[in-house]
Structure 1
């Protein structure tokens, strides 16, 4: 009898030990994958930008405020540098940004200046250009990890030139008509736009932006630029 019970007891012991080990294995939690890193937009950054602009400019208003409003179409490229800083709270990103761009946004045409609707005794061949663009703006955006959608608005300054040649009537420099036909001025204005930015590394981002600028001239004169630009920024 004892010879029969010994194998049974031994077998029950082995089964009990195996069951306990299996139970221990069953309750062990599976390994947890590390959480994906979340991009944070807080910090200072510098970068370069460039693009293409279209618009309208009143070159006569640069030369003299006496003439009636006129408008020349402009187009051309620009390139420059950017600097800014921003802070992220949750999905909201707030910041400030400034840029300085060299521009070659040009237009030309022939015009007979008028004063209160009365033509002046001169016909001008005019070339006009926006040769520099400066903005200082606030940015407010919504972050979706490493993708940022934002709006922007603030101050703008345009460096504008007009260069005229008299092709009929009295020449430039005639007293009482035009003292000169070449002028350059800085004009203040406002800038507003929308953009998107994508962080492709922890420090480098790409952005695309549409910006509208309205600059004030003398009296009712207004100059407009519509800029589409792209940039690369490095975030510290």
Structure 2
């Protein structure tokens, strides 16, 4: 009985010493090294902001729409530009594959997002057409430019440095978006001294269109694996989506400039295969 008690006490002391020094009791208790290699899929949400459509407005070009106008004495506000500052939220899905060799990681990822990114800009101007018969009238006009991005996506490569359950990476590739744009103008007569009756209907205008834009995306981010097969990520992407849709109405047209976005996202990924 005493010998059995001594053996049990020795075993307990040996186990306690092993735990205190960090020595594993058996080789099978060694914690595995995390690997990023494999397929993954997840969800993300974020925010985007940047430059959108811009319209060139030339009120003087509208004077020629009035019948019998004297261009030498008629006046209009100076030409100006209306630019749309776009912003809004986004959210969607992503999926990809990683290859890890030591600390080096390479991968490919595709994502698609539903977007509430958009904006509008408005500007006013004055017109004073003077007619050959000597009469004149005063008008005020308003132009509105809008842009909305319904959804967008990217297909990108990733290159990064993996250390245990942390990953830092740079990324770049193709970007696309479905864009809607519109131009609207309206006018109001401030006085009514015209002998030539009527208001040129062509003075008011409306045009809209929608379509897909193709461009590129570059950025970077970080990812942290907080549990087996699960990770959280934070990412910044700059998207250049190419030129907006071609639109024009009397006195106003969209400029040929690129649509740009700065997006910030957070996401949750699950590794679905090693």
Give the structure-2-normalised TM-score.
0.63
Q: Matches of 2:40 and 2:186 in 1, distance apart? A: 50
CA distance in structure 2 between the aligned counterparts of 1:145 and 1:129, rounded to whole angstroms: 41
CA contact (8 A) 2:51 2:261 kept: yes
When Rg is computed on C-alpha atoms for both structures, the one with the higher figure is: 1
Counterpart contact for 1:47–1:81, Cα < 8 Å: yes
- Relative to structure 1, is the Cα distance of residues 143 and 41 closer, same or farther in structure 2, using a 3 angstrom cutoff? same
Unaligned runs of 5+ in 1: 1-29, 62-67, 113-121
Q: Post-superposition shift, 1:215?
A: 1.4
- Structure 2 match to 1:191: 217
Question: Corresponding residue for 1:49?
Answer: 44
SS at match of 1:38: coil
The aligned residue for residue 243 of structure 2 is 217
Q: How much does 1:168 deviate?
A: 2.6
Query: Unpaired runs of 5+ in structure 2?
Result: 1-17, 57-79, 125-140, 189-198, 245-254
Query: In the alignment, which residue of structure 2 is the partner of 1:145?
Result: 164
Number of aligned residue pairs: give it. 192
Q: 2:144 corresponds to which residue?
A: 125
- What does residue 228 of structure 2 align with? 202
- Alignment match of 1:84 (pick from 88, 93, 96): 96
Answer whether contact 1:60 1:162 (CA < 8 A) is retained: no
Q: CA deviation at 1:37?
A: 2.2
* Distance (Å, rounded) in 2 between the aligned partners of 1:198 and 1:189: 29
On the 8 A contact 1:58/1:69 being kept in 2, the answer is: no
Tell me the distance in 2 between the aligned counterparts of 1:217 and 1:71. Answer: 14
* Shift in Å, 1:81: 0.5
The RMSD of aligned alpha carbons is: 3.0
What is the CA distance between 1:164 and its match in structure 2? 3.3
4+ long deviations beyond 6 Å = none
Query: Which residue matches 1:5?
Result: none
Alpha-carbon offset, residue 123 of structure 1: 4.2
Partner of 1:165: 184
What's 2:120 paired with?
108
